[in-house]
């Protein structure tokens, strides 16, 4: 019995006009990827987005600690929180892992964190 890959589609909705345009574009991209996947011509892609401030709050961390775990200067992390744009891709994945269990990232980084 062969394992069938699954396609996951996730889109974030923002209340502002830019977010609505982004959502529409993301939805079209996701549907095109789903069509390719259905015809065996593409890989299923997991679209991950995270809100920087919410991820840090959920982790119970101060901005400096979150920035350190993310590998960013504090000023850059604070700019991401203030931007009110979702984190995307690997950055979002790492933020969500930290939000879920910051100890995992601390352990993986060893003495660096």
Please write the tens of the pLDDT for every residue from 30-72: 777 777 777 777 666 666 788 999 999 999 999 999 999 999 9
The span from the CA of 113 to the CA of 97, in Å, is 15
Region 7-18: what's the mean pLDDT?
Answer: 42
Query: Running DSSP on this structure, what letter comes out for residue 3?
Result: P
Enumerate the β-bridge partners of residue 50: 87
CA-to-CA separations, 68 to 41, 55, 71, 78, in angstroms, rounded? 39, 14, 5, 12
Percent of the chain clearing pLDDT 70 (strictly above): 70
Q: Is the confidence at residue 105, as pLDDT, over 70? A: yes
Are the beta carbons of 45 and 6 closer than 8 angstroms? no
């Amino acid at each position: 019995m062969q394992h069938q890959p699954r396609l996951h589609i996730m889109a974030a909705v923002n209340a502002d006009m830019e977010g609505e345009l982004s959502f529409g574009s993301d939805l079209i991209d996701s549907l095109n990827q789903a069509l390719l996947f259905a015809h065996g011509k593409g890989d299923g892609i997991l679209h991950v987005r995270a809100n920087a401030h919410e991820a840090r709050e959920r982790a119970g961390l101060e901005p400096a600690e979150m920035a350190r775990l993310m590998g960013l200067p504090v000023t850059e992390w604070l700019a991401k929180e203030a931007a009110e744009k979702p984190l995307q891709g690997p950055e979002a994945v790492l933020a969500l892992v930290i939000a879920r269990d910051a100890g995992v990232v601390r352990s993986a980084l060893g003495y660096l964190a």
